[in-house]
Amino acid sequence: MATSTVFGAARLSPEQMLAPSPMALLRRRVFGHRSLMFGIIVLGLMVAMAVGAWFVAPHDPYAQSLASRRIPPIWHAWFWDNPKAGWEHILGTDKVGRDYLSRLIYGARISLVIGIATMLISGIIGTTLGVMAGYFGGRVDMVVTFLITTRLSMPVVMVALAVVALYGSSLEVVILVLGFLLWDRFAVVMRSVTMQARSLDYVTAAQAIGCSTPHILLREILPNILNSLVVVATVEMANAILLEAALSFLGLGVQPPLPSWGLMLSEAKEDMFFSPWMITLPGICLFLLVLSINLLGDGVRDVTAPENRN
């Protein structure tokens, strides 16, 4: 068949030249993946809402009003002729009269900030440990495996609760605590994929021609394990968001009056009997955000996995 020349491209057949480029193929896989598209669109909307919260939110999320407490959402006016419900507060108000929709919109900020910041901290810790263990093996691997085992045997929710309670609960403390607790999955996955990548021929070749270790790790290994890194990052981001909500719900996470969704659920708990929508709405927001992040991760894994191509 065709021998390779400097002008190898000239030997391609017309069909080969008209074949879609790898980038076009990737685009096709992304747009054809329904759950990935759902994830991208929902997450995109949430991020847009969080970034432009001051513009999108109809009211000040902190403004209390004694005159308009516990107003039900607009559909109570449609189905049950509730005279209090109206367009002024589409999703109603909470027990001190703060606009629920505005608080939900600002709440997206807190969840996203916690998710991203925690993911970055735990990602850096876990990836460093995992890549080192996988690449160097031996003693380093033993130490890292021990650290992972130790971390896994500590109950995350309890330790996070205790540390946040003892060191004072604030957004920063919650982020730091979760960041230092949730690195285990990064380390486990990065360790095993680095082990696989280390034995590949081009890594051996790079070692043979005398590339430095940082060069090999950053230029040869890292691009290879990036897919798995993205997938773990989405899982851990979702995990951090759920944990923050649980901590805030127990009263030991983000402090009032910040509109964290978990905190809103905690504040609405006593109104559960007569205003169940106060519980339903923040939960649906949490569910949608976490679902979209998970679908994004699953989708990225599907479209970048070589075995799914063609």
Partner 1 sequence: MLAYSLKRLLLAALVVLTVSGITFIMTNAAIDPAKAIAGANATIEDIEALRRSFGFDRPLVIQYLDWLGNALTGNFGESYRLRTPVAELLLDRLPVTMTLGGCALLFALSLSIPLGVVAALKPNSPVDRLALSLSVLGQALPTFWFALMMIILFGIVLRWLPISGSGSWAHFVMPSIALGYYATPAFMRLTRAGMIEVLASDYIRTARAKGLRPATVLFKHALRNAVIPVVSLAAVQFGFMLGGSVVIETIFALHGVGFLAWESISRSDIPVVQAIVLLISLFYIFLTLLADLLNAYLDPRIRVG
Q: Which residues bind partner 1 (CB under 8 A)?
A: 35, 146, 149-150, 152-159, 161-163, 165-167, 238, 242, 245-246, 249-252, 265, 269, 272-273, 276, 279-280, 282-283, 286-287, 290-291, 294-295, 298
- In Å, what is the CA distance from 6 to each residue of 10, 32, 159? 9, 36, 62
Considering the complex, state which of residue 203 and residue 290 has its C-beta at the smaller distance from partner 1: 290
CB of 181 to partner 1, least distance (A): 11
Nearer to partner 1, 20 or 276 (CB): 276
CA pair distance 163, 86, nearest whole angstrom: 43
The residue (of 197 and 238) whose beta carbon lies closer to partner 1 is 238
221 versus 299: smaller Cβ distance to partner 1? 299
* Smallest distance from partner 1 to CB 80, Å: 15
Angle at CA 95, nearest 5°, toward 99 and 110? 55
CA 153-227-197 angle, 5° bins: 80
Which residue lies nearer to partner 1 by CB, 30 or 250?
Answer: 250
**DSSP for residue 216:** I
In angstroms, what is the minimal distance from the CB of 143 to partner 1? 11
Nearer to partner 1, 156 or 211 (CB): 156
* Residues contacting residue 128 through CB under 8 Å, at least 6 positions apart: none
In the complex, least distance from residue 292 CB atom to partner 1, rounded to whole angstroms: 8
Tokens 């021990």: give the residue: 146
Q: Which residues, at least 6 apart from 36, have a Cβ–Cβ distance to it below 8 Å?
A: 30, 295, 296, 298, 299, 300, 302, 303
As measured in angstroms, the least distance from the Cβ of 124 to partner 1 is: 20
Nearer to partner 1, 130 or 282 (CB): 282
Distance CA 130, CA 188 (A): 6
| Triad 165, 167, 171: Cα angle to 5° | 80
Closest distance of CB 237 from partner 1, Å: 12
Nearest distance in Å: CB 152, partner 1? 7
User: Contact 262/245 with Cβ under 8 angstroms?
Assistant: yes
